[in-house]
């Protein structure tokens, strides 16, 4: 094996080295090599001492080389357990001798060998149990003392090198550790070492130190919880040996001598260091073994007390810093590890340590003491034990309190230092370095100023860390109590009466109660004066931790104090005293000062961090802050003002302080973060318990109340700040409500009560703020998801849970709406009332579809608004009503619809705003649409259930398409309409009609007109959906009463003219708006209303006449309507008369063509027209227009109902028209004739006559119609004076016997009366008195009538045409003869053209119609041709080709007249004489003779006379001659 080979190699090296000078050693080595070859393992070597002795023999030579080889081989043998225990008695003296050798290598080998002896194993088989059996277990105490003495000898030897001394010290330390490890093992003490016993190095933060100490304390608790043995005496020799060693070390540390170790003196520092090591690592040994505990209590503690005293001058080693550090560390170990058993001693130690902080000691000494105290403070276990053993014990000193006060005094001493600012900067730098992981080191040389400042800063830093350690310890213990269940978590609900009974909880409460004030004073001082980021963060962490602990412990006073202190470091607003002092300072401009003050809100990094800390505390303790919320909210209110201030900024740290290591960010990012944190705090209220939310709301209300009391009516910085605080409170209340909508009911009354109180404030800003808050709150609650979810659940579930949920939501909805009623009814301010109505409007717009239970309250409020005298209130109330009527009818309960209609009617009747009334009337129409749609839906449902439907109009009406009706109904039905019964719907519709009827009597024309229009539009639009009973109610209760009332008001209203609205003053006179003359009196306005009523009735009759005829007593209503129409036409204005006529006409015309107008109704209409025309008193400015309408109506009536007319009715129709003509002619004032115009009535007659062509079954009426028209053409008794004079002056050659002409034209007309003929042919220029009344001026009517007559003549049946033909030809001939009297007129021309048309038409048709079986007799044809021959003879001979007296005819007209003469001659020759016709020969001869007379007219005249005749006369004669020649071919 390798060990044997190495051992053999060492023996060979030894033999080689001793070969010359030490042959005995050489021989022994060779002998050992041979013997070694017979051995196979280290155990065999251990039983053979020869090999070990060979190495001892080499060491006895005491040469360096042989000693080194020998000691190395011994180490190898010891390491492999190849040495028997008995040989140790020989090894130790050898090592002692080698320790005396001056060679350093030999001394080091000696120390190594000693250490290996302590570590070697002599029984390898024991490795199974991992038991370390040291070689000195079989040795005497003297051997162990001898081994340890060798180490101490080399340590204390002046000739030893530093390397040897250091190695000796380390070897001794390890040996001592091995000794006491074996004591622990031999005494069966708990294995392991307390890691808390070692000195705890500082981490990067105090919180890290406390956390690590808590972890170590947990490990120690686990170690000691294994039921250690009771205190007992030492049982083993090993334990007694360790005790001797401990006593010697204690004696050496005290400066005495060690009896057992046989050492007279030793460096006290080294001995104290070893003692400190033992005290910190073998706690169980001192706690269990009585002898050890006694040594600790009587010897070690006495030693330390003596060393700790400073009442004498410290000299030598005792005064060195290292010695003082060891003393203090040893004391700290005793206090930390043994305070439970050494209470008195620890109390003394602590008192002495505290006292040292007050003494005038060197800074390094004070720093050492502060380090120890800091260590106690950052170790939660130690601090807990100390507080339990001392402060909580009534007989003991309050050492923890004293320790905290001492640390606080050190901190406060910075105020009195001359270099306080430098020290503060240094402290900040130390914390910054520590945060970076750089530990400060203390320099012992404090001579210069820099080191002095650093030392002072170091001391202050330690004191601060100590105080923070106490803070974090309290926080950690509090968390431990919460975890253990002794305290309730801050996440739990706050119960003020809850008592803390847990041991840890009581401890924490006691610690807080005794320490908080001292800690607060010290930390607030540093926080106020420091600017470093790291130290600020540490202190603010302390604030947060301690405040949170106070909150969990329900320590109200400390909590409020820490919160108040923290809030002071958040935002600094300049107070009024500062502002006044600045403003009153001389030498400054006020404007500059004001601008500076605006910019004085500056957030430093300290402020920002303090605010963040405050937010953290608030989030952590939101359930337990309770009344303390007020402190937080005051600060957050100030922050809110700063965030929204345009002059607020953030700043960097002063240049005197090292720049903070952090990300650079602008001021706005800081503000954004703070604003976000501010909002999140209140948004997190959703996670709070309901009692905590109430506490928060109470604090907000308290803050708002305080500011309301302090707010004055004036304006200023303080007032604005108070208003800002109130605004903050209100906004946060809203935020809390919004984030707690699912449990808003317990919070609602508290919040809304405050808003209502705020709305009652005299300050307008506060009132507006309250109104906005109410708006947001109510809309948020009513728009929450719980109302939507409930709507869905109602449609899907009918369980009892839904019922309870409905009750809950009903209460909540009513609670949400009720503040608006309270606000409107109780407030005396118009603005507040208007604000409440605006809120209601917003609620209806945003959440109207979700409302279910508060409609009665809403409608009652709106109804009360309608009676208000303020226009703005009425407008706002009506806007809300519009939202309901347009969008919310489907959600209103059925029992509220009638109320809704009444409210709408109230707004229609109000007198404040006209437009509102008009719009309200439109809303009634909208309501009716909704009701009727619900009616349709209800009818369909009832039909499905087997209920008999009410007879509806569509079942009775003809001409309606069922498919269109079905489509319109299906498209109109609202699937969300409420469930309304038919009876309820009828009541609702009647209610609407009643309101419209009342509004139809309103004194304002616009309102009543709109109401009447709406009433009839509703009936017209939904009439087909109403039942018979509904229609009867409408007719007798609404329609006819409305007509009667409008008629009565039109007849009785004032005729005084109105003045328009005053627009202003010009030139000292009022300027009024112009009103149209047709609307400038009350009577005219009512006439307009009456016109609307008549128009509405007309539309209803046009649409529903067939159905209405089926109603009971409709005929009586019809008669009443006709009677009213007669009265309206006789006594009403033009508009009313025309409307009455139109009402009658539209009804009749609309149903005649469809066959829906029975004969009695048609006859009744004719009766009305006939009575109107025959009435002798019916005259005036309106007459002509009315007559025109009547005439148009008659024409259209006949066109539409000609099949219903018989001979008698047709005769009555013609009689009415004839009467209209007569009345017009007799009453005409000739004003239109002066301008060549026909009167309007006669023009209308001309328009109507073509429409009166008799139907086939009325062919006999053609003769009556045409003869009636012939009456209005010039008759046989109408030769004018001018014509007679012209005839007397004519030449003899052109003379026509007057007797013949008279006889011819005196033939009586069988159908015309002489009176009418005389009236029609009398010249308008006649000077007689009677001519002015019976004359048709300038034949204007006859001119227009000829065209109509000719057209009708051409349309007449053949038989009737031939019967009347002679009369028509005769009448046209008379008209043609008017050329002489009125050559400028158009009558003769139109007569000529008509004559030509009729004659040509007759000639063309005679060949077809006049056959063997023709119904036309030859005598009648003969009569026709005689009349034709007479007309040709009279007109051609007497009126053509003559020089007529006319000075006004233009050349164009003359040429046209000549062309007309040529045309009649041409027609005579070409159309009559040339073709074969049925005219007798004598007629043809007369016609040829007539042409001949015209052609030969110029031949009988003298030459001089012929030259004087116009050229057209010669041309006419020539044309006649040419025609004769053409006939002779």
The tens digit of pLDDT for each residue in 1137-1158 reads 888 888 888 888 778 777 778 8
Phi, psi at 720, each rounded to 5°: -65, -40
* pLDDT single digits (tens) 648-659: 777 654 333 343
pLDDT over 70 (residue 212):
no
**What's the confidence (pLDDT) of residue 1526?**
87
- Between residues 1330 and 514, the one the model is more confident about: 514
Positive or negative, the CA dihedral 1337, 1340, 1341, 1342 is: positive
Give the distance, in angstroms, between the CA of residue 953 and the centroid of all CA atoms in the same chain. 48
Length of the chain: 1529
* pLDDT single digits (tens) 349-387: 889 888 888 887 888 888 888 899 998 898 888 888 889
> What percent of the chain lies above the pLDDT cut of 70?
77
Rounded CA-CA distance 1225/659 in Å is: 115
- Reduced DSSP (H G I as helix, E B as strand, rest coil) percent helix, strand, coil of the chain, to 5: 75, 0, 25
* pLDDT single digits (tens) 920-976: 999 998 888 888 876 544 444 444 443 333 344 444 444 343 333 333 333 433 444
Rounded CA-CA distance 610/616 in Å is: 10
**What's the confidence (pLDDT) of residue 1314?**
32
pLDDT over 60 (residue 576):
no
pLDDT over 80 (residue 123):
no
pLDDT over 60 (residue 419):
yes
**Residue 98: C-alpha distances to residues 60, 149, 964 (Å):** 9, 13, 131
658-661, Cβ contacts within 8 angstroms, sequence gap of 24 or more: 658/428, 658/429, 658/432, 658/532, 660/532, 660/533, 660/605, 661/432, 661/436, 661/533
Average pLDDT over residues 568-593: 53
**What's the confidence (pLDDT) of residue 657?**
37
pLDDT classification of 1330: cutoffs 50, 70, 90: very low
- The answer to whether 1018 and 990 are in contact (CB under 8 A) is no
**Residue 1455: C-alpha distances to residues 456, 1498, 1516 (Å):** 139, 20, 12
* pLDDT single digits (tens) 254-281: 888 888 888 887 888 888 888 889 888 8
Instruction: Using the CB atoms, write b or e for 1400-1417: b if 16+ within 10 Å.
Output: eebbeebeeebeeeeebe
Rounded CA-CA distance 1200/1151 in Å is: 9
pLDDT classification of 492: cutoffs 50, 70, 90: low
Across 37-195, the runs of DSSP E, i.e. the strands, are none
**Residue 304: C-alpha distances to residues 210, 300, 323 (Å):** 27, 6, 11
**What's the confidence (pLDDT) of residue 1419?**
83
Is residue 128 packed enough to be buried (19+ CB in 10 Å), middle (13-18) or exposed (0-12)? exposed
* pLDDT single digits (tens) 44-54: 777 767 777 77
The phi-psi region of residue 1339 (left if phi > 0; otherwise alpha if psi is between -120 and 50; otherwise beta) is: left
Q: 3-class SS at 1191? A: helix
Average pLDDT over residues 1185-1210: 85
pLDDT classification of 998: cutoffs 50, 70, 90: very high
Element of type H or E holding 650? strand 649-650
* pLDDT single digits (tens) 763-779: 888 889 999 999 999 99
Average pLDDT over residues 90-117: 82
- pTM metric for this prediction: 0.67
> Closest Cα partner for 1513 from 1491, 1494, 1492, 1493?
1494
Half-sphere exposure of 1231 (CA within 13 A, CB side): 4
Rounded CA-CA distance 458/442 in Å is: 8
The tokens describing 118, both together, are 């302590």
- Between residues 348 and 647, the one the model is more confident about: 348
């Amino acid at each position: 094996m390798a060990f044997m080979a190495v051992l053999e190699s060492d023996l060979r090296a030894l033999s080689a080295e001793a070969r010359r000078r030490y042959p005995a050693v050489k021989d022994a080595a060779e002998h050992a090599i041979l013997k070694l070859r017979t051995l196979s393992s280290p155990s065999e070597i251990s039983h053979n001492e020869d090999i070990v002795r060979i190495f001892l023999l080499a060491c006895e030579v005491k040469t360096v080389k042989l000693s080194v080889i020998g000691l190395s081989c011994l180490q190898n043998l010891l390491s492999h357990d190849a040495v028997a225990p008995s040989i140790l008695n020989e090894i130790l003296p050898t090592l002692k001798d080698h320790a005396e050798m001056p060679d350093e290598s030999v001394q080091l080998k000696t120390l190594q060998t000693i250490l290996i002896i302590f570590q070697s194993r002599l029984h390898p088989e024991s490795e199974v149990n991992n038991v370390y059996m040291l070689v000195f277990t079989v040795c005497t105490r003297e051997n162990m003392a001898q081994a340890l003495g060798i180490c101490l000898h080399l340590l204390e030897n002046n000739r030893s090198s530093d390397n040897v001394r250091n190695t000796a010290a380390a070897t001794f330390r390890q040996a001592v550790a091995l000794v006491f490890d074996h004591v622990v093992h031999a005494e069966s003490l708990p294995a392991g070492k307390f890691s808390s016993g070692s000195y705890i190095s500082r981490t990067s933060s105090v919180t890290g130190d406390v956390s690590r100490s808590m972890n170590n304390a947990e490990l120690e608790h686990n170690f000691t919880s294994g039921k250690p043995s009771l205190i007992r005496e030492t049982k083993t020799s090993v334990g007694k040996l360790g005790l001797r060693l401990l006593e010697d070390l204690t004696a050496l540390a005290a400066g005495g001598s060690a009896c057992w170790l046989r050492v007279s003196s030793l460096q006290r520092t080294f001995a104290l260091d070893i003692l400190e090591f033992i005290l910190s690592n073998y706690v169980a040994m001192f706690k269990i073994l009585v002898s050890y505990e006694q040594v600790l209590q009587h010897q070690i503690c006495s030693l330390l007390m003596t060393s700790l005293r400073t009442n004498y001058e410290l000299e030598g080693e005792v005064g060195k810093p290292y010695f003082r550090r060891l003393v203090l560390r040893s004391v700290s170990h005793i206090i930390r590890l043994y305070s439970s058993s050494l209470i008195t001693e620890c109390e003394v130690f602590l008192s002495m340590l505290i006292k040292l902080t007050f003494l005038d000691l060197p800074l390094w000494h004070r720093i050492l003491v502060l380090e120890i105290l800091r260590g106690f403070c950052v170790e939660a276990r130690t601090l807990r034990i100390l507080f339990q053993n001392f402060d909580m014990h009534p007989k003991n000193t309050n050492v923890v309190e004293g320790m905290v006060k001492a640390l606080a005094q050190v901190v406060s001493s910075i105020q009195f230092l001359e270099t306080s600012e430098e020290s503060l900067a240094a402290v900040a730098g130390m914390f910054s370095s520590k945060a970076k992981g750089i530990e400060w080191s203390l320099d012992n040389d404090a001579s210069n100023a820099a080191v002095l400042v650093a030392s002072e800063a170091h001391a202050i830093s330690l004191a601060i860390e100590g105080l923070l350690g106490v803070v974090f310890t309290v926080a950690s213990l509090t968390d431990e109590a919460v975890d253990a269940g002794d305290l309730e978590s801050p996440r739990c609900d706050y119960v003020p009466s809850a008592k803390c009974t847990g041991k840890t909880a009581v401890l924490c409460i006691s610690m807080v109660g005794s320490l908080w004030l001292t800690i607060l004073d010290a930390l607030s001082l540093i926080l106020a004066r420091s600017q470093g980021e790291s130290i600020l963060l540490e202190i603010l962490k302390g604030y947060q931790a301690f405040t949170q602990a106070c909150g969990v412990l329900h320590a109200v006073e400390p909590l409020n104090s820490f919160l108040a202190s923290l809030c002071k470091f958040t935002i600094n607003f300049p107070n009024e005293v500062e502002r006044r002092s600045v403003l009153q300072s001389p030498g400054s401009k006020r404007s500059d000062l004001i601008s500076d003050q605006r910019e004085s809100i500056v957030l430093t990094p300290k402020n920002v961090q303090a605010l963040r800390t405050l937010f953290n505390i608030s989030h952590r303790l939101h359930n337990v802050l309770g009344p303390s919320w007020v402190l937080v909210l005051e600060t957050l209110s100030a922050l809110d003002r700063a965030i929204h201030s345009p002059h607020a900024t953030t700043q960097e740290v002063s240049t005197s302080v090292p720049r903070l290591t952090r990300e650079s960010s602008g001021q706005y990012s800081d503000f954004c973060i703070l604003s976000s944190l501010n909002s999140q705090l209140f948004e997190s209220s959703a996670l709070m318990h309901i009692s905590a939310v109430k506490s928060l709301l109470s604090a907000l209300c308290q803050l708002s109340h305080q500011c309301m009391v302090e707010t004055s009516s004036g304006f200023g910085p303080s007032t604005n700040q108070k208003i800002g605080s109130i605004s903050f409170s209100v906004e946060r209340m809203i935020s809390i409500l919004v984030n707690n909508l699912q449990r808003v009911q317990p919070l609602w009354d508290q919040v809304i009560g405050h808003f209502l109180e705020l709305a009652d404030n005299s300050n307008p800003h506060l009132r507006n703020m309250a109104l906005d808050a109410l708006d947001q709150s109510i809309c948020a609650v009513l728009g929450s998801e719980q109302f939507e979810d409930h709507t869905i659940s109602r449609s899907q579930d009918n369980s009892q849970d839904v019922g309870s949920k409905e009750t809950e939501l009903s209460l909540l909805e009513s609670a949400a709406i009720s503040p608006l009623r309270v606000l409107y009814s109780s407030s005396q301010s118009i603005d507040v009332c208007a604000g409440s109505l605006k809120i209601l409007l917003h609620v209806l717009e945003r959440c109207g579809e979700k409302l279910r239970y508060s409609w009665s309250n809403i409608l009652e409020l709106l109804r009360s608004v309608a009676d208000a005298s303020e226009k703005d209130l009425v407008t706002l109330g009506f806007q809300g009503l519009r939202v309901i009527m347009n969008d919310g009818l489907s959600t209103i309960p059925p029992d509220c619809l009638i109320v809704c209609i009444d409210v709408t009617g109230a707004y229609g009747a109000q007198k404040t705003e006209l437009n509102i009334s008009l719009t309200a009337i439109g809303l009634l129409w909208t309501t009716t649409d909704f009701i009727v749609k619900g009616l349709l839906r209800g009818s369909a449902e009832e039909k499905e259930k087997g209920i008999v439907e009410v007879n509806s109009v569509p079942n009775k009406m003809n001409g309606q398409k069922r498919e269109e009706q079905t489509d319109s109904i299906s498209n109109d039905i609202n699937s969300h309409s409420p469930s309304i019964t038919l009876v309820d719907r009828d009541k609702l519709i009647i209610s609407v009609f009643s309101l419209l009827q009342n509004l139809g009597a309103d004194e304002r024309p616009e309102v009543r007109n709109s109401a009447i229009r709406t009433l009839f539009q509703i009936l017209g639009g939904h009439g087909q959906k109403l039942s018979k009973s509904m229609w009867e109610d409408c007719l007798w209760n609404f329609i006819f009463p409305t007509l009667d009332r409008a008629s009565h008001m039109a007849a009785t209203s004032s005729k005084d003219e109105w003045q328009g609205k005053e627009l202003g003053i010009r030139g000292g006179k009022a300027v009024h708006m112009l009103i149209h003359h047709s609307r400038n009196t009350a009577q005219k306005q009512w006439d307009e209303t009456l016109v609307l009523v008549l128009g509405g009735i007309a539309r209803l009759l046009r649409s529903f006449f067939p159905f209405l005829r089926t109603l009971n007593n409709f005929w009586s209503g019809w008669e009443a309507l006709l009677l009213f129409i007669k009265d309206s036409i006789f006594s009403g204005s033009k508009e009313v008369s025309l409307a009455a006529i139109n009402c009658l006409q539209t009804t009749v015309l609309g149903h005649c063509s469809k066959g829906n107008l029975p004969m009695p109704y048609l006859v009744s209409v004719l009766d009305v027209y006939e009575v109107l025309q025959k009435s002798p008193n019916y005259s005036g400015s309106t007459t002509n227009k009315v007559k025109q309408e009547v005439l148009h109506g008659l024409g259209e009536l006949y066109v539409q109902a000609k099949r219903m007319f018989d001979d008698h009715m047709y005769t009555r129709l013609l009689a009415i028209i004839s009467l209209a003509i007569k009345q017009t002619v007799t009453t005409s004032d000739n004003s239109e004739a002066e301008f060549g115009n026909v009167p309007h009535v006669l023009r209308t007659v001309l328009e109507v006559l073509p429409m009166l062509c008799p139907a086939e079954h009325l062919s006999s009426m053609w003769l009556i119609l045409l003869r009636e028209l012939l009456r209005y053409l010039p008759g046989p008794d109408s030769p004018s004076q001018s014509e007679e004079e012209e005839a007397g002056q004519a030449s003899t050659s052109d003379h026509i016997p007057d007797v013949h002409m008279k006889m011819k034209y005196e033939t009586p007309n069988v159908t015309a009366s002489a009176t009418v003929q005389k009236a029609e042919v009398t010249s308008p220029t006649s000077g007689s008195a009677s001519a002015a009344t019976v004359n048709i001026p300038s034949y204007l009517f006859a001119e227009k009538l000829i065209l109509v007559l000719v057209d009708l003549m051409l349309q007449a049946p053949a038989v009737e045409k031939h019967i009347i033909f002679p009369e028509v030809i005769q009448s046209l001939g008379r008209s043609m003869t008017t050329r002489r009297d009125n050559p400028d007129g158009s009558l003769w021309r139109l007569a000529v053209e008509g004559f030509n048309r009729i004659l040509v038409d007759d000639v063309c048709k005679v060949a077809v119609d006049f056959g063997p079986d023709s119904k036309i007799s030859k005598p009648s044809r003969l009569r026709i041709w005689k009349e034709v021959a007479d007309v040709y003879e009279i007109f051609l001979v007497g009126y053509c080709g003559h020089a007529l007296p006319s000075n006004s005819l233009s050349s164009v007209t003359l040429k046209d007249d000549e062309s007309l003469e040529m045309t009649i001659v041409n027609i005579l020759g070409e159309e009559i004489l040339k073709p074969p016709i049925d005219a007798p020969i004598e007629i043809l001869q007369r016609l040829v003779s007539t042409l001949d007379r015209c052609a030969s007219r110029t031949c009988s005249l003298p030459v001089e006379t012929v030259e004087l005749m116009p050229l057209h006369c010669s041309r006419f004669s020539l044309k006649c001659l040419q025609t004769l020649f053409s006939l002779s071919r």
